[in-house]
Structure 1
Amino acid sequence: MIALSRRQFLLTSTAGSLVALHPFAARAQAGQAHLRILATTDLHCHVQPYDYYADKPNDTMGLARTASLIAAVRAEAGNSITVDNGDYMQGNPMADFIAYSRGMKEGDLHPVIAGMNALGFDAGTLGNHEFNYGLPFLDLVNARADFPVLCANVAKTLGATPREDDLYAPPYAILDRELTDGSGAKLPIRIGLIGFVPPQILQWDRSHLDGKVQVRDIVQAAQAWVPQIREEGADIVIALCHSGIDAGPYAEGMENAALHLAGVEGIDALVTGHHHRQFPGTDFEGEGIDNTAGTLRGKPAVMPGFWGSHMGLIDLMLTHDSGTWTVAAHESTLRPIYERLEDRSIKPLAEDFAPAIEATAQTHADTLAYVRAEVGQTSAPLHSYFALVADDPSVQIVSLAQTWYVAQLLQGTEHADLPILSAAAPFKAGGRGGPEYYTDVAVGPVAIKNVADLYLYPNTLQAVRITGAQLKDWLERSAGIFNQITPGAADQPLINPAFPSYNFDVIDGVTYQIDLTQPSKYDSDGVLVDDTANRITNLLHNGQPVDPAAEFIVATNNYRAGGGGSFPGTGASTTILQAPDTNRDVIVRYIVDQGTISPAADANWSFAPAGGATVTFDTGPKATAYLAEVQERGLNVEPAGDGTDGFARFRITL
């Protein structure tokens, strides 16, 4: 690889003001230098502090806010680099506006790249969502980045060894810089950076990547490339790992491999992501994970949230001896851009970074015009406050649209006479998104921003052909979101927080109950853990018990049909339709076709009685406005006080 030398480190410039130095910088002597690694991850095109779904400013998001923290930290010490850890260009209506409406042509500057260029990033890596719009689009976006975008485990073709792979992107970069030591002397240093992405991209974006790229295991790729970075003279190596932290044993091809990557010799520090969580903190525990020291297997690491919610900061005290640098001490911290107060309000902790705002101002204005365009009307409110505990209108409208669309495409085919079901999940259901992270569309006009709010991801519609037995197991997998409860016991937590809401599929076109007193058949990753478990009861189609041998068509998306979430009945062998349209576009077409939609939930699923047991769950405080509605649909639910972190708590009697 050719070493990169783009600019010198930003040096402290106080201009008459006093700057509080980090202890590493304050006590550094001759031959000692303080290096700061400033990191973002999972920005998902959130540059401006604005929620395009709600169409209002939002102080909990935006690179423009994180950037002001980065600028302040750079002033605290003379030596720093800034890196991004992937999933930067997809994830909100601005991203979709660029990809689907305005488009990209050679020479265009994507707004998130404009924001990152304005801040002066030194390097980045690819995330799995970078592939959502296809490789040609990704190439156009990255062509205007003023920094290298790295990835060591995605190849156009695989060679006999990782070093012989024809890689899609540069696997690593070496930055030639100078560090100012404690005496004021400037000493050269070579900083190696290497990037990784989950191998599951081939599954999640098969339609874009099949036959075009191949992948390597993250750890195996690192074991091959890190020694070469060292051979080329890198003094330290920083891994940009768009992969989460899994405390379980290593398995080849694992999605969340950061902990095991930390064990690769030659890596000095790691930036992790993908999980949309925080490290150090309270989100991860297990052998080799030290939240107090901020280390994974003894190596300093950070996972700085998502959407710009946090800046990750790794401080290294480096010692220079006989021409080489070594890490003498380290510290890992997160700096948030906001604080949630006791009254549930948000207190911003960072101001806008003007260059990032200015660089994206026109696209921001264009996006607002795009998302405000009306496509139809709704006669019933669309909300997701109770989507995890009852049949829900925000999920119902997705299923109605998917069924409508697939029925048209299957006319005249060998599948035309089979019953069509639809699988859909609630995407905005609180969780790590916070107590405001719910869909809430009032009766009246429906705009593109509302459709984007209903369906967050740029999935394409697909359909699978499955048996009744596979249908039941699909629902068993989905029911893993619930904890097992004891009959008759009071106020038991209902939801397993480790289970993502996008894997809670509700299947429309059948009716069923979920028996919470039974153990889950599958764990949160979709692994079979109890073959005898039987949570799904009274599974009926047209009022009759579902025959295990009967066949059904299930409308879903490319992620699920391709095996995402490890649901029974999915995969290439069962996929019978790969539509050219996104699920979101299908919803828009359906609303336009209907003019006015009436997506009242039909209560096709419910909880089985459990001897009067009560369970609790947390949702957004605005759920109270819809309490009577869900009670009318048969859910025995009542307020139960305040939850944690701004949520409201409710109680269900079974």
Structure 2
Amino acid sequence: MPSISLPSLTRRSLLGGLAATSALVVLHPFAARAQANQAHLRIMETTDIHVHVLPYDYYGDKPNDTMGLARTASLIDSIRAEAGNSMLIDNGDFLQGNPMGDYIAYERGMKEGDQHPIIQAMNVLGYDAGTLGNHEFNYGLDFMFKVLGGAGFPYVCANLAKGMLASDPKQDELFFKPYVILEKQIRDGSGAESPVKVGFIGFVPPQIMVWDAKHLEGKAQTRDIVDAAKAWVPVMKEEGADIIIALSHSGIDGSGMSERMENASLYLAGVNGIDAVFTGHQHLVFPGPKDFEGIAGADAERGTLMGKPAVMAGFWGSHMGLIDFLLEKDGNGWKIVDFTTEARPIYHRDEDRKVVADVKDKPEVTAAVKEEHEATLAYVRRPVGKTSAPLYSYFALVADDPSVQIVSNAQTWYIKDMLKDGEYRDLPVLSAAAPFKAGGRGGAEYYTDVPAGDIAIKNVADLYLYPNTVQAVLISGEQVRNWLEMSAGMFNQIEPGAKDAPLLNTSFPSYNYDIIDGVTYQIDLSQPARFDKDGQLVNPDAHRIIDLQFEGKPIDPAQKFVVATNNYRAGGGGKFPEIAGDKVIFVAPDTNRDVIVRYIVEQGTINPSADANWSFKPMAGTTAIFESGPKGRTYVADIKGAKIEEAGDGAEGFAKFRLVL
């Protein structure tokens, strides 16, 4: 497709011109200016819905205005009204990802004739085509096919096969049609109607064979995304497709093309014959100002990959992806003469960073899943396991803590299972986790507090506030030490012999105070912080982390360790020294919350008791003061590895406690 210049129509001016109110719909400029033998075609994308049909956080058991296909559906109505002609596609990861998905898969099941709530909603909205994401396989092939049997539109996937008998992808025995060519009647600028043949070809990350080996091993195989495209796109051309659209459940990675690449959409766009790419999988937004700037071949302002229009529409229904084409008759077919791209959100944040919904629910979608929503609420409020001890975070910053311990236990369990058959299977696995609810600006009630006994899925929100995904990094023993040195910036330096010195550095966020399980260590508060808040070495001679041991012996600075963490930390969040994307060896398809839930279900009864693998170095005659929630007084006697005393009332509802060093 030739490169198109847009002297009179920029994306910025387009976004400004598309402002619409309930009383007025502004036509897209292509629809307004199309002449005879010209037509506007808009293709709309949803991606990574993860069963978020409604704007509701089942973990927190409360509404959430940043998500929900029911909200995106309201956008669809107005977006269709702006367009001369339109089509709607889904780009995968719709079947798993929140408690409604788990409820259907594990509790209600799928009998013959049943419709999954996500499919019910999609059928209401009139999708034209869809492809698969990696999470479609999380519940097994049989379940997936039962769900897809209820869809009122075709699914395509060109790189998933039952068997591969040759090097030619066209010889594969595929589970789905690799592509579909839909003939759509479109109206041109003069009002005349004629058909355009739009081809959709779908792709799934080849890594599903690792992520869901228990469901797919011996039953399925995957091919490289770009190789499959090079094989099938010419066939689509031969069959008369006017436009070829890639539905790529694969992200954008500019690090260079490699075999069986997970995030291959940039290089997929370079395949001759593909006219546009809808992407997903990474839960990011393209085009946009921040997520993909600086990648060669990707224009994050205009929304192109290799010069071709491309969109990634966020996740959980947060955005609607739009690619608009101005088509022109070319003999008996159509060709693209212009395009624009956009990822349109369902909400914005006001000056105080509060979420403001831009659209309301679409009643038809809400009604379609009412029964399943109510059943899911009962499900998340019902116990899924037990905890043998309370889960609380009142002292997470001053002693090894049960709320952080259970997160580490789950992460270690998960990563060991994920890596057990790969090249890292013989390396020791550590786990880094931080307390999220630890008072501070959240107030005196902002703490985890789950009593011993039954534990429900929604309690996981108390353990893990953020929708992070699990990742693992490969680092040395010396880098483990520096990770902990950075974490120790949580504390003020304390002079030996000081009485009731302030303990906590109030400018240090609790979510950056990582405890690393699998090693033992002490923190020497008499030392200054080795690193500043930006991870810069400011006190080269300072070493707060002392007696760091692995398996009872001093840690070897050169030994290699796998550390389970989250995507925020592994990607450089918090500016920890030498911890960044280049250390990542495993990117999980699962959120940390989901892993914790699965761990609880498998264990039946969890034991969150902290193992006291870290403590402060004793300092004779020294005490320090910190604040926590007053309910923490209940648990003072249970704290391991630290001597804590009540010290009266603090400000704004907090209680004071004394750490005896």
**TM-score when scaled to structure 2?**
0.68
Count of aligned residue pairs for this structure pair: 530
Distance 1:384 1:70 in 2: 45
Q: Which runs of 5+ in 2 are unaligned?
A: 1-19, 417-426, 493-504, 524-528, 536-542, 567-580, 588-593, 618-626, 634-638, 643-661
- 2:375 is matched with 366
SS state of the match for residue 107, structure 2? helix
Of residues 291, 305, 309, the one that matches 1:300 is: 309
SS state of the match for residue 94, structure 1? helix
1:620-635 maps to which residues of 2 (within 5 A)? none
How big is the shift at 1:30?
0.4
1:28-107 maps to which residues of 2 (within 5 A)? 28-107=34-113
Distance 1:329 1:385 in 2: 60
SS state of the match for residue 251, structure 1? coil
1:228-377 maps to which residues of 2 (within 5 A)? 228-281=235-288, 282-285=290-293, 286-374=295-383, 375-376=385-386
Q: Once structures 1 and 2 are overlaid, which stretch shifts more, 17-26 or 81-90?
A: 17-26
Aligned 8 A contact 1:91 1:456 in 2: no
Aligned 8 A contact 2:433 2:565 in 1: no
Cα offsets for 1:559-599 (capped at 9, x unmatched): xxxxxx9989999xxxxxxxxx9863442565x646xx665
Q: Which runs of 5+ in 1 are unaligned?
A: 1-13, 408-419, 465-469, 521-533, 558-564, 572-580, 608-622, 635-654
Which has the higher Rg, Structure 1 or Structure 2?
2
Aligned 8 A contact 2:432 2:565 in 1: no
Which amino acid counterpart does residue 42 of structure 1 have in structure 2?
Answer: D
Aligned 8 A contact 2:436 2:465 in 1: no
Which amino acid counterpart does residue 168 of structure 2 have in structure 1?
Answer: T
Aligned 8 A contact 2:475 2:583 in 1: no
Cα offsets for 1:136-155 (capped at 9, x unmatched): 11111111111112211111
Of residues 167, 170, 173, the one that matches 2:177 is: 170
Distance 1:404 1:183 in 2: 64
SS state of the match for residue 365, structure 1? helix
Aligned 8 A contact 2:248 2:277 in 1: yes
- 1:526 is matched with none
Distance 1:218 1:99 in 2: 29
Aligned 8 A contact 1:384 1:394 in 2: no
Which amino acid counterpart does residue 112 of structure 1 have in structure 2?
Answer: I
Of residues 183, 186, 192, the one that matches 2:190 is: 183
Which amino acid counterpart does residue 319 of structure 1 have in structure 2?
Answer: E
Mark the CA change 1:479 to 1:106 in structure 2 (over 3 Å): closer, same or farther: farther
Distance 1:268 1:332 in 2: 13
Which amino acid counterpart does residue 234 of structure 1 have in structure 2?
Answer: A
Distance 2:227 2:309 in 1: 21
Distance 2:127 2:266 in 1: 25
Which amino acid counterpart does residue 314 of structure 2 have in structure 1?
Answer: G
SS state of the match for residue 75, structure 1? helix
Distance 1:478 1:306 in 2: 34
SS state of the match for residue 54, structure 2? coil
How big is the shift at 1:273?
0.8
Cα offsets for 1:177-213 (capped at 9, x unmatched): 1110000000111100011111111111122111211
SS state of the match for residue 130, structure 2? strand
Percent identity of equivalent pairs: 51
Distance 2:110 2:220 in 1: 22
Distance 1:385 1:88 in 2: 39
Cα offsets for 1:9-53 (capped at 9, x unmatched): xxxxx9x97532111000001000000011111111100110000
**TM-score when scaled to structure 1?**
0.69
Aligned 8 A contact 1:124 1:150 in 2: yes
Aligned 8 A contact 2:46 2:319 in 1: yes
Aligned 8 A contact 1:104 1:140 in 2: yes
- 1:584 is matched with 597
Mark the CA change 1:33 to 1:568 in structure 2 (over 3 Å): closer, same or farther: closer
How big is the shift at 1:168?
2.0
Distance 1:278 1:385 in 2: 38
Which amino acid counterpart does residue 58 of structure 1 have in structure 2?
Answer: N
The alignment's C-alpha RMSD in Å is: 5.0
Of residues 209, 214, 220, the one that matches 1:207 is: 214
Which amino acid counterpart does residue 236 of structure 2 have in structure 1?
Answer: I
How big is the shift at 1:399?
4.0
- 1:604 is matched with 614
Of residues 116, 132, 151, the one that matches 1:110 is: 116
- 1:227 is matched with 234
How big is the shift at 1:242?
0.8
Q: Once structures 1 and 2 are overlaid, which stretch shifts more, 541-550 or 207-216?
A: 541-550
Distance 1:52 1:404 in 2: 24
Distance 2:370 2:91 in 1: 24
Which amino acid counterpart does residue 20 of structure 1 have in structure 2?
Answer: V
Aligned 8 A contact 1:125 1:196 in 2: yes
Distance 1:423 1:134 in 2: 30
Which amino acid counterpart does residue 361 of structure 1 have in structure 2?
Answer: K
- 1:417 is matched with none
